[in-house]
Structure 1
Amino acid sequence: MIDWQQIDTVLLDMDGTLLDLAFDNFFWQVYVPQHYARLNSLSEPEALALLADWIGRHQGTLNWYCMDFWSDELGLNIAALKRQVAERIGYRPGAEAFLAALQASGRRVVMVTNAHPDALSLKVERTGIDRYFDALVSSHQYRAAKEEQPFWERLSEAHPFTPERTLLVDDSLPVLGSAQRYGIGHLWSILHPDSSVPARPHTRPFPAIDQFDTVQPR
């Protein structure tokens, strides 16, 4: 269980933690390859294989999360394509109630996301998730992804927090590892970030949340 008495600040990821990662996985694994295949006279499997290799080379960097970068690289309007399927954006089960309980607890709550600011704005527009936060931080503001130490250094300058009394919940193991190196004291992962596929087995080095109703703040 989360030791809430030891936590003053809560840092929360967005995609795969609070919002269902099924939207993003559908977008990048199905919708973008469909459009890229059509644009370049490829089959969809050819486009998917090409994009998976291309995107994988940038994994963990700011480019990987940058809509402007991929619009330029792929010759597609990524922001416009996201709007076309925005009805798929939604909360993970129990996430909104968890956010409301956090807000009522009086703790400072900050969103920390690698999402591009335009993607963040779209998801705020669709969900109203911003109402639960004291601040929304995109790694693009700091020109460093959460996997990189400069992100945490710049975050602590802009939104000071005591690392050992801070909780981070994130579905990404590399991000949690980066936060651990920075000294954040309470680190939790997510077992089921994408509702369209089975939950991940808990074989990870960090404790993991299955249902938010089991970790309600006190």
Structure 2
Amino acid sequence: MLNWGKINVVILDMDGTLLDLHFDNYFWHIHIPTKYAKTHNITLQAAQEYLHIETSKVAGQIQWYCLDYWTDKLDLPIVELKREIQHKIALRPDTLPFLDALKQAGKKVVLLTNAHPKSLSLKVERTKLDQHIDLLISTHQYGATKESQTLWERLQIDLKFDNSTTLFVDDSLTILDSAKKFGIKHLLAIANPDSQLPSVSADRLKGYPYITDYRKIITDIV
């Protein structure tokens, strides 16, 4: 599926790719609407509809991922609310074996997330991901998301990676499309980002190579 002999750099998404996306889905679809409904004295359904409208307005943009933006927009202490359910933050069970295999093979491993730095910090605090990865980057430091070609252009200038020897892994097809457009040769989709939801069917993955368990491919890493 992947020609590991031609891959030197591995760029990994965080949520859904290394961490179980259940935390984020629960936070944005249940926890925040519940808090917003209570704070503003409206029904849960009304709160969910409002949040759907507001998130749709900034989908794929830096604001969508910005905790400060949502703190102001919703008048809620977003970071504190994340900490309320931080026990739900969890590594995928196949993550550490995969990261260890990459390290043993001498690959440069970079975490690249659209998550806000405060969210990244909380998740690192809970999972110790920083002990297994060479470099952790929040796209907020570039002011552009992975959906944007601007991000990839700026990132390549800083990291000096070669598109032809770089692997990018993500659970978002939109973001994989962006990386493909930029010219990254090796791409891998995650078909089961949320442990509480069914895997995405192969026919919906747009032809991208995909995995549901890294442990099935680690013996191929060289």
The residue number in structure 2 matching 1:70 is 70
Moved over 4 A (4+): none
Q: How far apart, in 2, do the equivalents of 1:102 and 1:25 lie?
A: 28
Is residue 211 of structure 1 aligned with residue 213 of structure 2?
yes
The residue number in structure 1 matching 2:183 is 183
TM-score by length of 2: 0.96
The residue number in structure 1 matching 2:41 is 41
Q: Equivalent residues in 2 for 1:127-206 (5 A)?
A: 127-203=127-203, 204-205=205-206, 206=208
Unaligned runs of 5+ in 2: none
Residues 99-108 or 120-129, more deviating: 99-108
CA drift at 1:53: 1.5
Q: How far apart, in 1, do the equivalents of 2:145 and 2:51 lie?
A: 21
After superposition, the C-alpha distances for 1:77-110 in whole angstroms (9 at most, x for unaligned) are: 1011001100100011211110111111111110
Q: How far apart, in 2, do the equivalents of 1:48 and 1:196 lie?
A: 20
The residue number in structure 2 matching 1:61 is 61
Q: Equivalent residues in 2 for 1:26-37 (5 A)?
A: 26-37=26-37
Q: How far apart, in 2, do the equivalents of 1:180 and 1:198 lie?
A: 26
Q: Equivalent residues in 2 for 1:79-158 (5 A)?
A: 79-158=79-158
- Give secondary structure in 2 for the equivalent of 1:92: coil
- Give secondary structure in 2 for the equivalent of 1:48: helix
CA drift at 1:158: 1.4
- Give secondary structure in 2 for the equivalent of 1:60: coil
Unaligned runs of 5+ in 1: none
Q: How far apart, in 1, do the equivalents of 2:87 and 2:105 lie?
A: 31
TM-score by length of 1: 0.98
CA drift at 1:57: 1.5
Which letter does structure 1 place at the counterpart of 2:100? Answer: A
CA drift at 1:27: 0.2
Query: What is the number of residues matched between the two proteins?
Result: 218
- Two-structure CA RMSD over aligned residues (Å): 0.8
